[in-house]
C-alpha cells in the first residue's frame, strides 16, 4: 500500500498524510489535504491539550470551541495569526 503524501502546510515539505480526514466538514478536509501525519499528531497529542488546559476552554461554550479551532488552524499554518502561548509561568493559567 502506497503512503499518501501531502505538501504539509506546517512543515513546508512533502510528508506522509493522514489516512482519512480527522473529522467531517470543510476544515477536516482541508487538514486531510494539507497537513502531514506528524503535524496532526503534534496538534492532537500535544498542543491541543495545552491550549485547552492553559486557557481553560469549555468545549460546551461555542466561543471557547471557536478559540480552539482557530488555534488549531494557526498551529497547522492553515490560518494566519498568533498561536497561543502555553506554559507561561507568569500568566498562571488565566485567560
Q: What is the pLDDT of residues 5-53, one digit of tens each?
A: 999 999 999 999 999 999 999 999 999 999 999 999 999 999 999 999 9
CATH of the domain at 24: 1.10.3880.10
Q: Is residue 80 part of a domain?
A: no
The answer to whether the CB of 39 falls within 8 A of the CB of 13 is: no
Question: What pLDDT score was predicted for residue 93?
Answer: 46
The answer to whether the CB of 77 falls within 8 A of the CB of 10 is: yes
Which range of residues forms the domain containing residue 30? 5-75
- The total domain count for the chain is 1
Q: Is residue 48 part of a domain?
A: yes
Q: Is residue 58 part of a domain?
A: yes
Q: Is residue 57 part of a domain?
A: yes
Q: Is residue 89 part of a domain?
A: no
Burial category of 19 from C-beta neighbours within 10 Å (exposed 0-12, middle 13-18, buried 19 and up): exposed
Cell numbers given for 76: 497547522
Q: Is residue 12 part of a domain?
A: yes
Q: Is residue 92 part of a domain?
A: no
81 or 20: whose pLDDT is higher? 20
Amino acid at each position: 500500500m502506497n503512503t499518501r503524501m501531502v505538501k504539509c502546510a506546517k512543515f513546508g515539505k512533502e510528508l506522509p498524510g493522514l489516512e482519512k480526514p480527522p473529522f467531517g466538514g470543510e476544515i477536516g478536509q482541508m487538514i486531510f489535504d494539507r497537513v502531514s501525519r506528524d503535524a496532526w499528531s503534534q496538534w492532537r497529542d500535544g498542543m491541543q491539550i495545552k491550549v485547552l488546559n492553559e486557557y481553560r476552554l469549555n468545549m460546551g461554550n461555542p466561543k471557547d470551541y471557536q478559540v480552539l479551532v482557530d488555534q488549531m488552524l494557526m498551529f497547522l499554518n492553515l490560518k494566519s495569526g498568533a498561536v497561543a502561548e502555553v506554559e507561561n509561568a507568569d500568566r498562571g493559567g488565566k485567560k
